[in-house]
Chain A
Amino acid sequence: MTVPVRAVSARGLARRYDDVEAVAGVDLDVEPGEVFGFLGPNGAGKSTTIKMLCTLVQPSAGTATVAGYDVVRQRDDVRRTIGLVFQDPTLDGYLTAEQNLRMHAELYGVPKAVVGDRMTDVLGMVGLSDRRRSRVSTYSGGMKRRLEIARGLLHAPRVLFLDEPTVGLDPQTRASIWRYINELRHREDITIFMTTHYMDEAEYCDRIAIIDQGRIVVTDTPEALKASVGKDRVQITTQDDEAAMTALRDRFDVAPVLAEGQVTFAIAGGEGFVPRLFAELGVPIRSVSVSRPSLDDVFMSYTGTTIRDAEAAGGSNQWVRMMARNR
């Protein structure tokens, strides 16, 4: 064996739609066996990046390889080596789970001798063995997603791309999907590349890249990212937010942000700071909360906004994403 190839590698990967730069030069390296999370608000360029890596969209600049294959020049090799689970369902509801899987096996050229075993395997992994002969149209949303994950694994891909695997599912189903993903990384020799805009899910990843406005802002492990923030998050509600923010800037030398109706700022030793705050702010305070840094804070500290506000502001980019989806 030669040196193990990177599961995913991109240099200056970019895609522009008319005047809008959906992805503006992305560099990333994903090692084999990693669970790599691509985190960002809707419209940040996650889906477009994943589509370029999966050979569905041609990059307008830059290069990328998946499992060592070039995404432009070796399209079919890339496609054979990856599994794909999209945000939108791509199952045939008229067929049974088994028929959907068989069809996939044929399209991906899985050797006939192993199809049966492989199907039993993946259906067992996502807990759908007893429903294998039911039509997919009778499945719930969560079951469909699980079946899609099973199908994505059927041809034993080296890299599994999951685009928002839990979006639109209820919390219980989300948890169960994650259980399957975690089990999967132990059972199969596979790299998982996923996008999400749920902060709590990003914690499950080995490494995270935060993407905002088409650029990767930072890449690291969730722990390192949280440690890099170094400060606690303090959120207060006051009678006069503007005055409170001015006071915070002037007297305490912090950089407050008004997000979701709360004044939020980061400061080292948050709990110890609260008494001082009450004594010196000069604006009546209604409530205070102090929390350890979460990935939300990481996102905030690297992009200057919360992921939800970024989404609310990303109207024009959303449109680009829709365009990209409909292509």
Chain B
Amino acid sequence: MEMKRVMLTSGAEATIELRDGIILKSRAPKRYRLKEIDERLRRERTKIEAKLIAEARKSGVPTPIIYDVMNCEIQMEYIDGVQLKHVLDANLSERIGELVGLLHTAGIIHGDLTTSNMILAGERIYLIDFGLAYFDQSTEARGVDVHVLFQTFESTHGGHETLIKAFTRGYRKTFKDADDVLQRVKEIESRGRYRTERL
């Protein structure tokens, strides 16, 4: 039987391949960096990613189902939908806020919350690419997580203030420490070099 193989994306982190309806995410070696650094990062990130995808799902955040993990490759469910960066609006941003709130309640930091890493499939928003995710319950880690998303809103989407406001609404709904984190986000923003609006 002939296998159907399609290369979906070659992202910065990994290559995503669709093989017989299953997603294969593999972290190919990066030639630009030293082998020692490369192997350390790829191995650690693959193992942690698989674990976190499963944990996030348990906490109520739609993520792909994991089928298998080996070396630097994860086999998981294929989510057929559209990246949020192409369809983002305030309503969706509020729902992102709810999901990130659930994630943070479960003690999970995504680590790369961009609108490229969210897929709208039917009625559900799936979070994908947990390649930089980790467990952490600190306000700081949660703040950086949200800060990254706000940076994406600002750098890639128009009307980012509305999107941020909508996100905040959703985030507060599902996460009791939301206000502490949002306060920290402001402080983190002021840390980048030369920010004029200091707290």
Question: A and B: partners?
Answer: no
A interface residues (Cβ-Cβ under 8 A, vs B): none
